[in-house]
Structure 1
Amino acid sequence: MSTSHPWTGVFPAITTQMHRDGSLDLDATATHAEVLIQSGIRGLIFLGSLGENQMLTSAEKRLVMKEMVGAVKGRIPVVSGVAETSTADATAFARDCEAAGVDGFMLMPAMCYKTPDPEETLTHFRTVAAATGLPIMIYNNPISYGNDITPEMFATLADTKNFVALKESSGNTRRITDLRNTVGDRYAIFTGVDDLALESAVLGIDGWVAGTGIAFPKENQRLWELMQAGKWQEAVAIYRWFTPLLHLDVHIKFVQYIKLCVQECGLGKEWTRAPRLPLTGAEREAVLKVIHDGIASRPSAG
């Protein structure tokens, strides 16, 4: 892990807590953020995919970020997801968040636009970056968003100074080595796939955008520290326990699954906003079994 990057370590993607009617619960979001901060994380990402960015109104997103900046009080970087449909909306959101005191961004491709033209994606990223002087993590998730940012594209973007990190969520760990071979240490490389965290750490990453770990922050942080120390036998033991829970992060209903996990661990509520619906029936029972088995057998985080 490089120590020269401004962002390294665990940057969890926190949920946006809601009341049962779908309205924002900012107090609960701030309370959960505090638990995560106390676990030793290095940054917090609000309004990512797990934070239901696209389900919130423009005004709500700005309110969330204003309130969370106030709650964190500068102790660690507060990062906002940028997941707008148009480049104009993305640049406006970045400017407003910077004015509100946000410390940086996790930038996704333009939502709902699966472009076959890499130049359009690169132009979107460059335009948003030009709207702010804050550091930016580029989020590559071709499985969910239909736009693949290749190592060669990251090399093209390397001259934009405020692109400081990338979140690699292609699900292909070969990409980590390809990225190192193509761009060296130009960016901090974060894994964004929970159940590939150990495999990614072996290949040399700088950080982890954790999902399920927001429900098990002490264990998640302990696993990260063991991996960074090269204590692989101890890390594998925790990882084997954690993996059924980490699989919850890669299901199409990962928001509902992880929010349910957060609830069962006493750190929030499961409520999401439509079109996402609460889990029911056999699916709910199956997820609850994974969660309760994990809670019952959780290892010491010390």
Structure 2
Amino acid sequence: MDTQPVTTQTIANSVWAVPSLARSADGTINREENAKLIKHIEQGGISTLLYGGNAIFYHLTMKEYREALELISEVPADSTLVIPAIGPAYGTMLDQADILADFNFPTAMVLPQRDVISSAGFSAGVRNVSQRLGKPVVLYLKYGNVVSVEDATALVDGGYISAIKYAVVREDYTRDDYLRALTDKIDPKLILSGLGDQPAIVHMQDFALGGFTTGCGCVFPQMSTALLKAIQAGQWDEAETIREKFLPLEQLRDNLGPISILHRATQLAGIAQTGPIIPLLSEPTEDINAQINAALETIRQSA
């Protein structure tokens, strides 16, 4: 795995894939099946893996957390950047930071929350965790204005932030005062569009963001890689054509749950046996699985 510090060039080099975490039938983390998924993503041209929401890092036990870190630090290629998540609770962040000290990940992403926090308090927690790790962290902005522009800017200026994943849902992604204010204060190349392939074009064209994350690109990594290249080349019509190909699966994720749909889609696509979805999430019904299969087939035919 790549252990070099994250830079704006690192952000631009690859789409950031956000994969599921495969488990055996008994719920334990499955090394062999995760290796299949990682290899599939890498072979599609993606060299950054972000283990966060889709991997359900929110609900790992501390024992599982160490097991997951061992797996994702050992299996990927030497050139692959791997970023694990920490949190979202402050106590969890501190305990996980102590475990992370035994590994060489160049950064970690702080999972977002919006309850029982204030902007100043959350920012203080991020600073403390960054100092405890001895390295900057990825700031995940999922809820508008929960972290103020001023506090986010101060974290960046203080050297505590390696990148920002921006994932605030909007009805119209061209109209986003919060993101505009952030990019007025912070180098936009430090910020990634964090909502998958759908808003990536708008975020990178209108706000000059440095890259984007992908969930569906874990299933179709070549398409996400092609989308990034088209955007970076300013080939907007080509980029739009690729974006639309993802719609059947993206719409299911938007309507029925992004994490559980991707977890099962990865298995139904024949990439890896992802196993059971752990609580506090639940399994898609057979009817939903049929819809996932139909979406996968539609995308295959359009590729």
Aligning the two structures, in what range does the TM-score lie when normalised by the shorter sequence?
Answer: 0.7 to 0.9
Deviation, structure 1 residue 126: 1.0
Give 1:67-86 correspondences, 5 Å limit. 67-85=71-89
Offset from partner CA, 1:240-268 (integer Å, 9 cap, x none): 12122223443452222112221222212
Distance (whole Å) between structure 2 residues aligned to residue 129 and residue 6 of structure 1: 19
The residue number in structure 1 matching 2:133 is 132
Distance (whole Å) between structure 1 residues aligned to residue 137 and residue 299 of structure 2: 34
- Structure 2 counterpart of 1:181, which letter? D
Offset from partner CA, 1:106-126 (integer Å, 9 cap, x none): 1124x5x61352111111111
The residue number in structure 1 matching 2:151 is 153
Closer, same or farther in 2 for the Cα pair 1:180/1:275, shift >3 Å? closer
Offset from partner CA, 1:181-236 (integer Å, 9 cap, x none): 12234x61111112212221212111212111100011111111111111111111
The residue number in structure 1 matching 2:4 is none
Distance (whole Å) between structure 1 residues aligned to residue 94 and residue 246 of structure 2: 38
The residue number in structure 2 matching 1:230 is 234
The residue number in structure 2 matching 1:118 is 119
1:96 to 77, 96, 99: 99
Closer, same or farther in 2 for the Cα pair 1:226/1:71, shift >3 Å? same
3-state SS of paired residue (2:84): strand
Offset from partner CA, 1:75-106 (integer Å, 9 cap, x none): 22211011242x23312312322422222111
* Range that drifts further, 231-240 or 35-44: 35-44
The residue number in structure 2 matching 1:141 is 142
Percent of matched pairs sharing the same residue: 18
Does 2:194 align with 1:192?
A: yes
Deviation, structure 1 residue 275: 3.4
3-state SS of paired residue (2:50): strand
CA-atom RMSD, angstroms? 2.2
The residue number in structure 2 matching 1:35 is 40
User: Bigger relative contact order, structure 1 or 2, given CA contacts below 8 A and separation 6+?
Assistant: 2
Q: Which runs of 5+ in 2 are unaligned?
A: 1-6
Distance (whole Å) between structure 1 residues aligned to residue 228 and residue 104 of structure 2: 28
Give the aligned length. 288
Q: Which runs of 5+ in 1 are unaligned?
A: none
Offset from partner CA, 1:15-56 (integer Å, 9 cap, x none): 11012332211221122112212222231112x011011232
Closer, same or farther in 2 for the Cα pair 1:98/1:252, shift >3 Å? farther
TM-score by length of 1: 0.87
Distance (whole Å) between structure 1 residues aligned to residue 245 and residue 11 of structure 2: 28
Offset from partner CA, 1:147-195 (integer Å, 9 cap, x none): 722333211212331402100011133244332112234x611111122
3-state SS of paired residue (1:131): helix
3-state SS of paired residue (1:255): helix
TM-score by length of 2: 0.86
2:258 to 254, 257, 261: 254
Closer, same or farther in 2 for the Cα pair 1:171/1:84, shift >3 Å? closer
The residue number in structure 1 matching 2:184 is 181
Answer whether contact 2:83 2:105 (CA < 8 A) is retained: yes
